[in-house]
Structure 1
């Protein structure tokens, strides 16, 4: 049996174990976990404080406010991207780095719209961009061509692209779906033709099966990489 003094010491040790010291890293990772589980709309300083078992004001010692919290969450997500492949050609290294970014974004569904709203690049974000630039420069790309290549990659360096006019899901009712399809064929026959051709998509992919946003992402990425290589071999400059 414990003496009263030993009981008090054991209780204090349990309390210390249960409550880890609050830190910026702990705050950011708790925010990422909350957004993963409940969506970015559920994220607030108050809700996050409740999850951490602290008062909301305690969070402001580590993040100045909601926007800084979101910036830090992006850093946590970007830090999950696999490191560059060693001893790989530029094309393989870039492709795998971009596809790793896509896998990370698929794990954190809330991250894409948050990344799109950021107004500045943090050191973590710049590290990722710098690593991609280094792959192109190490592969023989000029600084000028690499500048344009990075613009062409755009949001793909973060693992996503934006559809300008994404297609709405068809009605679940078979009769309504058939009626809608007839209307589309009658008015927009060429759109209907290529939409039907999408059934020929392959199902295997780097990340997994399905239609494939993944297939379309890799298809466009490979087209870009092939084009980059052609320009590199031509010693392309903007005046060409």
Structure 2
């Protein structure tokens, strides 16, 4: 017969599974500090020895890391997605930025479509909350905040799509974007005309999601990222033209 005795699960194993699920779903993010041991044991309703056992297992698995005198933190599991050498290579070649935007257009279009169909009302409420912050940053002329919220807005859509593989892959991609590996996106948010256009594009994405218009949400994301791609190409072309113009000026001054 295929039946085997049922053994009760160790409390530490249950804790390990819960923390793993929180990391997998993107709720516990890299760098997040866990509550102090006593508080966490009380929240989980387990003994402190069971909690220590679970934390040790998670550290061995590379998911948690302890910092003496500071506490226990979620490990930077995204750090290994792209090697420093590859990230540096991306930064030196313009085609990488174009490929990055094309990749985002495909992935985020799909994520928006899924979020409109599968996201809960609470998921979409998070998207709305981030978008309202974008509107506030726009009204207060805070280009830096608006650029930061741009990434947060797009990540909230990916989270609402409920695909954990896409979530962690895109979170890793956004870390490179924040660090300016592909391009300096803050440049666009410092130009008033472009900022207004970008806000309207984000509003179109938001409104389609709230209406649960899957096709409309995907189209709005694709239109937005096509605009970003065109703006980036214009920036690169303008930089090349400026370089040529400076050479001509130098020639005239020397002559």
Which TM-score bucket, shorter chain as reference? 0.3 to 0.5
The alignment's TM-score, normalised by the length of structure 1, stands at 0.34
The alignment's TM-score, normalised by the length of structure 2, stands at 0.32
Q: Which has the higher helix share?
A: 2
Larger Rg over CA atoms:
1
